[in-house]
Amino acid sequence: RVFVVNGEIAGSVVGLAVLDTETTGLFPTDRVLELGVVLVDDNGNVECVVDTLVNPGRDVASDGPQQRAAEGVHGITSTQVVHAPRFSDIAPWLAHELSGRVAVMHNAWFDLRFLDREFKKAGTSFGPVAVGDTMRMSAAMLGVHSLSQAAQTLGLEWPGEAHNAAVDAQMTWQVGQRLWSMLPAGSAAPGFGWMTRHEEGGISLDLDEADPLQLATEAAQYGWVDTPPPMPQWVPRASA
């Protein structure tokens, strides 16, 4: 996070944003239905955990068997999201919090494609984004791909019910911490790099082996210097 003294950029504080989403389905026409975010400061301390449903502006399972199958996985119903914020309500705050941080996800390609489309619909600028993917890390370091397999291999206990975006984001943070602790100091980690948005639409991910600290230092140059937008009114699934 860039900080300013007397109107001049004086330095930066590196942070992470660990994210997970639940969606109405798997297709480009589907929408984000739930968002979990764990904001982590430069000392590895959790600043806050965001846990909210998202009103997709459509029926949760309206488009066919795949969408109804997705509802069977995450268990979110149309009734629960009626009073939840729309992504356009969340977008300014989320874009602000992502700027200057490394965004960490498990299967980053899935979440970032949906987030890119949602930011575009909301008309909110998003990126460039430094990215860390714990799925790629766990595949390279543990030989497993799913978040549940990685957690089990590392002996971690789930902080709640799986396929809840905030719970999965917290588990992604725990898996990431454990994997980073296994790396020799100063060594490159698999699954780190940059997301690029294209003017003609869509995104690309360039994830390879990179030094997470160096990547975080590069990401900090994109940190915000303006006043943060107000935090939206979250609607956690448990309260819906």
pLDDT bucket at 67, cuts 50 / 70 / 90: low
Nearest in space to 97 (alpha carbons), one of 118, 126, 133: 126
- Could you tell me if 34 and 162 are in contact, meaning their C-beta atoms sit under 8 angstroms apart? no
DSSP label at residue 232: P
Mean pLDDT of 206-223: 82
pTM, two decimals, is: 0.89
Tell me what pLDDT residue 3 has. 43
Q: Which two tokens stand for residue 133?
A: 């993917």
Question: How far apart are alpha carbons 134 and 79 in whole angstroms?
Answer: 33
Question: How far apart are alpha carbons 47 and 130 in whole angstroms?
Answer: 19
226: three-class secondary structure by DSSP: coil
pLDDT, tens digit (0-9, with 9 covering 90-100), for 175-193: 999 999 998 877 889 999 9
Tell me what pLDDT residue 4 has. 43
pLDDT bucket at 92, cuts 50 / 70 / 90: very high
Tell me what pLDDT residue 130 has. 92
- What percentage of the chain reaches a pLDDT higher than 90? 52
pLDDT, tens digit (0-9, with 9 covering 90-100), for 31-48: 999 999 999 987 888 989
- What percentage of the chain reaches a pLDDT higher than 70? 87
Task: Choose from 5-14, 57-66, 121-130, 215-224 the range with maximum mean pLDDT.
Answer: 121-130
**How do the residues of the chain divide into helix, strand and coil, expressed in percent and rounded to 5?**
35, 25, 35
